[in-house]
Structure 1
């Protein structure tokens, strides 16, 4: 009896019924898998030294902070005396990359589902025709 009810459900509802028990488990496993990557995300700092009309980007070592990006640092690393503006900036971290990749994957998956849903439903209707019932004679 349950199988007949399940068979007459729309495809998206059937998928939900099959996977709703495991959704929370999959969500937790995904979060636990991503957490170490996000926590170990190191943000790389750079010092931009503007000397005359030229600008030079010098990567800061791991033990250096943005406070080390000053005129003396620019003079040491660019070997130019007339540096005017030192600017510290940070490039993207692994956390940002993970967020962007997940956005791309989820968006692509949703687009793929939206594009293939009519074909899957048409195939399902063709392979599983609706049952017709006739009345039994008295």
Structure 2
């Protein structure tokens, strides 16, 4: 006779560990938003993603990446940007740095997804768990012979 009691609990525990690791990976991915540099000169607008090189002294992190969004950065990426406006030296150039996603927005989305998938998983496993619980209760409360 094969005992499945230990393998079921090990399988459930390993499933729980995998789900927890998946949640941690999602949080780690959410902790690295992308910074963008918006260059505006007259009617012309250009948006470029700032690099996230951790070895570079300027691009150390997302807060330091915005330090690279300068007029020179915009002119290096697109040299003919301000040629038709004013003097063409980049005096009319306006730079703005922004992040596409904030930590709060990503946290709310991932929390919603985790709760939704958790509830769907529980609803899927509920009949199996209910039957398991009933079988366990029947074995625990059998009448003893007198």
- Which protein is richer in helix relative to its size? 1
Bin of the TM-score, shorter chain as denominator length: 0.3 to 0.5
Normalised by the length of structure 2, the TM-score is: 0.44
Normalised by the length of structure 1, the TM-score is: 0.47
